[in-house]
Structure 1
Amino acid sequence: MNNIQIDNNKKILIIDTTTYMYRAFYALPSLTNNQGNPSGVIYGVINMLYKLLHKYNTYHIICVFDAPYKNFRHHLFKNYKKNRKSIPENLKKQIPHLQQIITFIGIPIFMIPFVEADDVIGTLSHKIAKQGYSVLISTNDKDMLQLITKKIKIIHTNNNNIIGISEVKKKYGISPIHIIDLLSLMGDSADNIPGVPKIGEKTALILLKHFQSLENIYNNIENIKHIPIHGANKIFNIIKTNKNIAFLSKKLATIKKDVLLNVNIKKNINLPFQKKELIRLFHYYNFDIWKKKIENNAWLPTKT
C-alpha cells in the first residue's frame, strides 16, 4: 500500500502492544476472573490504552502486535533473539480476548505473519508522517529511537516522557537515524544483535561523533588511530577485523519502512465502538468499574 489517507488531521498514536503486554504481565499481580481465567495482562494493557485515550483525547490509536513467526532477521542471523524466553503460557492465553477487546473499543490491530512488529511500526509511522500527520509511538525499545523525525516522536512506556530529535541528541550526541550505527557497533543484548566485540556504548559514541556513520568509519578507518581516545590503535584493529559482523548488525538493527500493508487505513483507523460486546467481556472478566463506565457512556474521551 503506497498511499495512506487519514480523515483526521491530528495525531496518530501507534502502540507497541507487545511491550505493553510484558510490562503488564510482570508488573501486575496474577489476576483472575471468577472462573479462574487469567486477566492481569488484559486489565493492564486496556488500562494503559484507556489512559492514553483520555490523556491525548484521541480515537486515533493503532495497536501493533508481534506475529508468532520468525522473520528475515532470523534467517540473517540464527541467534537473533535467541536469549528471549518463550512467551509465558499464562500471558499467551490472554492475547485472543485482549485483541477482541481492543477491536471492540474501535482500535485497529496490525499483526503481520513473518514481519516483526518493529517493521510494521516503522512502516506505519513513516507513511503516516509522509502524509503530513504527527505520529507518537508508545514503546520502551531503544531501537525505535531511529524512527524519530520532526513528525515522529516516541512516548517512553515506563515514564511517559516524549522523546524527539533534541532529546536524542542531548542524550547521545547523535541524530536519531544514527542510533542504527550505534547499535551496529555496541550491539543490543535485548535482541541478541552481536555488534563489534569489545566496543561499548562510550567508544561507539566517540567513533560516531567523529565519523557520523558506520560507512564513514570504514571509509576512513585509518583515521581511527588519530582520534583522541584511549587505546586508539587497539580499537582500530578491532573495528578493522570485525567489518562483517558490524554490517550484519546494522542489517539486524535497521527497522524497515517498506512493509507491504494490505490494509486500507482510511477505512480502518476508526473501527466501530461495540458497546454490547465490551459490556459482555468486561462482565466476564469482572472489570466492573469499566463496565459501569461503558453503560454510562463515560469510557471514551469526549470528541473535540
Structure 2
Amino acid sequence: MLLLVDGSFYLYRAYHAFPLLTNNLGEPTGAIYGVINMLNSLFKQYSTSSIAIIFDAYGQNFRHKIFHDYKLNRTRMSKDLSCQIDPLYKIIQSMGLPLLVVKGVESDDVIGTLAHQAMCNNINVLISTGDKDMAQLVSPKIHLFNSTMNMRLGPKEVQKKFGVLPELIIDYIALVGDKSDNIPGVPGIGKKTAKILLQQFGGLKFLYQNLHKLNHFNLCRNKNLATKLDNYREKAFLSYQLATIRTNVMLDITYDQLIVKEPDYNQLIKLFKHYEFKRWILQLQSAQFPYNKAALSSNKIIGKTS
C-alpha cells in the first residue's frame, strides 16, 4: 500500500487545533508538535514502507494564471506558522520519511499524480487528508482517510457523503463552487440542485448540452434555472478547470521510489531537544517512539481497512 499524506492539511489543522506552544527561546512549536503527533497516530493505524508527506510550495501555481482571484480570500500565513515549516521539514526528513514540495502546482496535484501512477500499477493507495476536493481521486484502488474524523472513504462512501460518484465530484464543485479556494461555481446553485442535475444528466458537459430539456424535468422550483446556468456557463467551466486535480505532473520521483529510510535518531534527538519535545526524546531513547522503521517495514495494513 502507498500512503500519501496531505502535509498542508495536517499543518493548518495542527496550527488551529493545538495550543500556542513555545520553547524557552520563544520559538513557536505547536504546529510542529501537532503534525508529528498526527503522523504518529496515523502510523499506529496504518503501516506501510511506502509513504510520502506532500506540502504546498510557497507562491502561486498554474491555477492563479487561469483565475487571478484563485484563493484570494485566504489570509496570509502568520509568522508564528511560517517559522515552523522548515523545522517541521527537518524533523520529517530525519524520521526517514520522503517529503515532497513541488513548485508551480499544489500538493493535491502531486498526490493525484502519485496516486494515479500507483493505481495504474495495481497498487492500493490511501490518501490522508480532510480536503473534499480529493474525493475526485477515489476509486476501488484509491481511498481517502480523514484522521480528524477517523473516517475512510471509498467510492460508496463518497457517493453517500456528496450524493454523486467520485467521477462527478469535479462537476459538483463546478456547480456549487468552493469558498475555501474562491472557486466561483454557478451563483444560486446549491448542493441539492447540483446533485439532482448531475444525477439526471451525468456531468457538466452533458448538462450544458441539454439545457433546453430542463423545463421537461421536475428538477426544482426554479423556473429560471436554465437561464441562470446559461448566463454563468463560462464560470461553470472555469470552476471545472480550477477544481480538477492534475494526475500527470512531471515529477523527479515515481511512486515506487517513496520508501521509508532508516531514521536519523541523533538528529531527531537534537531537534527534539531544541524544540523541547521531552516525551519524544525519552521515547526515542527507550525505542518506544511511536514511529520507527521496524513498525513500517511491512506492507500489511494495520488497523481498519473498511
TM-score (norm 1): 0.93
Task: Output one character per residue of 1:197-232: Cα deviation in whole Å (capped at 9) or x when no partner.
Answer: 111111111100100100010111111111113335
Task: Output one character per residue of 1:95-148: Cα deviation in whole Å (capped at 9) or x when no partner.
Answer: 001000001111111111111111111111111121111111111111110000
- The reply on whether 1:189 has 2:167 as its aligned counterpart is no
Equivalent residue for 2:132?
142
**Where in structure 1 are there 5+ consecutive unaligned residues?**
1-10
CA contact (8 A) 1:53 1:59 kept: no
- Other structure's SS at 1:154 match: strand
User: Take 1:137 and 1:149, find their aligned partners in 2: how far apart are those partners?
Assistant: 12
- The reply on whether 1:172 has 2:201 as its aligned counterpart is no
- Residue 22 of structure 1 aligns to which amino acid in structure 2? Y
Equivalent residue for 2:267?
277
Q: Which of 219, 235, 242 is the matching residue for 1:229?
A: 219
- The reply on whether 1:65 has 2:55 as its aligned counterpart is yes
TM-score (norm 2): 0.92
User: Take 1:41 and 1:241, find their aligned partners in 2: how far apart are those partners?
Assistant: 44
Cα offset, 1:70, TM superposition = 0.8
- Residue 101 of structure 1 aligns to which amino acid in structure 2? I
**Where in structure 2 are there 5+ consecutive unaligned residues?**
299-306
User: Take 1:25 and 1:292, find their aligned partners in 2: how far apart are those partners?
Assistant: 24
- Other structure's SS at 1:110 match: strand
Task: Output one character per residue of 1:231-288: Cα deviation in whole Å (capped at 9) or x when no partner.
Answer: 3531011011211111111000100000000125544422331111001111111111
Higher RCO (CA-CA < 8 Å; seq separation 6+): 2
Equivalent residue for 1:23?
13
User: Take 1:267 and 1:195, find their aligned partners in 2: how far apart are those partners?
Assistant: 38
Equivalent residue for 1:210?
200
Q: Which of 83, 98, 102 is the matching residue for 1:93?
A: 83
Equivalent residue for 1:262?
252
1:85-164 matches, cutoff 5 A: 85-164=75-154
Measured on the aligned residues, the alpha-carbon RMSD in Å equals 1.4
1:232-251 matches, cutoff 5 A: 232-251=222-241
User: Take 2:10 and 2:150, find their aligned partners in 1: how far apart are those partners?
Assistant: 13
Dislocated runs of 4+, deviation >6 Å: none
Specify whether residues 229 and 267 from structure 1 end up closer, same or farther in structure 2 by C-alpha distance, changes over 3 A only. closer
Identity, in percent, stands at 41
